[in-house]
Amino acid sequence: MEGLSDQDLDAMIAEALVDAYGEDEELVGFHILLSDRVTAPFTTEVLGVDVIVEEIDLRPGSGVVAICRRGRILQPIGLRDLPLPDPPPEGTEWIEAFRHWAL
């Protein structure tokens, strides 16, 4: 996604982390915000296969993930690694902010 400056991303990150103390609370803050702001479900392609992103979740040991479905199979994919469709769903600027924060 283009068009967001580092200043814009930093402001979004500050909003997500406003009351967070420590990395665990920061992940929870981002998870809540992403769950509220990213429109799901949406379809994207992972390794050449169409999948449906059903929700954004927080998994112990994995962090913030997209829960992807193909048929009956569910697979969490780290949000930092999730390819986004073109055009992206509403709210994906928050995924960009998360990726900027997670660098």
Answer whether 68's CB lies under 8 Å from 74's CB: yes
Answer whether 71's CB lies under 8 Å from 52's CB: no
Per-residue pLDDT of the chain (103 residues; tens, 9 = 90+): 567 899 999 999 999 999 889 889 999 999 999 999 999 999 999 999 999 999 999 998 889 999 999 999 999 999 999 999 999 999 999 999 999 999 8
Select from 77, 73, 100 the least CA-distant residue to 4. Answer: 100
Strand (E) positions, 1-103?
42-46, 49-59, 63-70, 73-78
Question: Cβ neighbours of residue 49 under 8 Å, at least 6 residues apart?
Answer: 70
DSSP annotation of 70 reads: E
